[in-house]
Amino acid sequence: MVSAADIVTAALARPAVSGVRIIGIDGPAGSGKSTLARAISAETGAPVIEIDDFLTWTSLEVWWPRFVAEILDPLAAGRDLEYGARDWWGDRDGDSLLPEPKRVRWSPLVVVEGVSVTRRAAAERYALRVWLEADPEVRLARGIARDGEDQRRQWLAWQSLEAEFFRADDTRARADIIIATD
């Protein structure tokens, strides 16, 4: 299995893009992206930006321009980040943001993790693109264990939405490293 240290070594061996090395960790929900991102952060001290602060249950597109404007563009310009985070518990549909923005100091190494983060439209912005995958049933079980049985229907709908996106975008094909987590 590829370790967090292996990923860091691979990322540092690549040139910085606009002065920053962004490690993008992508793959379907429940594949272990957040766990890997935390391990990389623990190894390096790099900040982690979670796509969950941006996305909604119903679309993989509507939030993307905000992500580019609040995360990718400032990182490329060498600026600190200040961005709104989705209110997952107060607004289950994902249209509302928490009242206080998140603030992250610029760093030469940043981990960005989440479903569709290394999409075609942004692939060139990452120093390293990592794809995580697991069997859909394993991922569903992980999601239900985390979010509760009452979210099963939401998870099933999400799995269909993300599978359609990944097929159309061919995201996995652009990965520099592919890791099976089941």
> In the chain, what are the domains?
4-180 (3.40.50.300)
**What is the mean pLDDT of the segment spanning 31-43?**
97
Amino acid present at 140: L
Q: What is the pLDDT of residue 98?
A: 77
Q: Kindly list the strands in the beta sheet with 128-133, ordered across the sheet, starting from the edge strand earlier in the chain.
A: 48-50, 109-113, 21-26, 128-133, 177-180
Mean pLDDT for the chain?
Answer: 94
Percent of the chain with pLDDT over 70: 97
Residue 67: pLDDT over 90 = yes
Confidence of residue 83 (pLDDT cuts 50, 70, 90): very high
Instruction: Report residue 3 as tokens.
Output: 């370790």
| Number of separate helices (H) and strands (E) present in the chain | 6, 7
Three-state secondary-structure class, residue 72: helix
Start-to-end Cα distance in the chain: 11
- Host H or E run for residue 21: strand 21-26
Percent of the chain with pLDDT over 90: 84
Distance CA 166, CA 5 (A): 27
**What is the mean pLDDT of the segment spanning 33-42?**
97
CA dihedral in degrees (97, 103, 107, 113; nearest 10)?
-20
Whether 19 contacts 76, CB under 8 Å: yes
Residue 163 φ/ψ, nearest 5 degrees: -60, -40
Is the pTM higher than 0.85? The answer reads yes
The per-residue pLDDT for range 39-66, each reduced to its tens digit, is: 999 999 999 999 999 988 888 998 999 9
Q: What is the pLDDT of residue 46?
A: 98
Residue 5 vs residue 100, higher pLDDT: 5
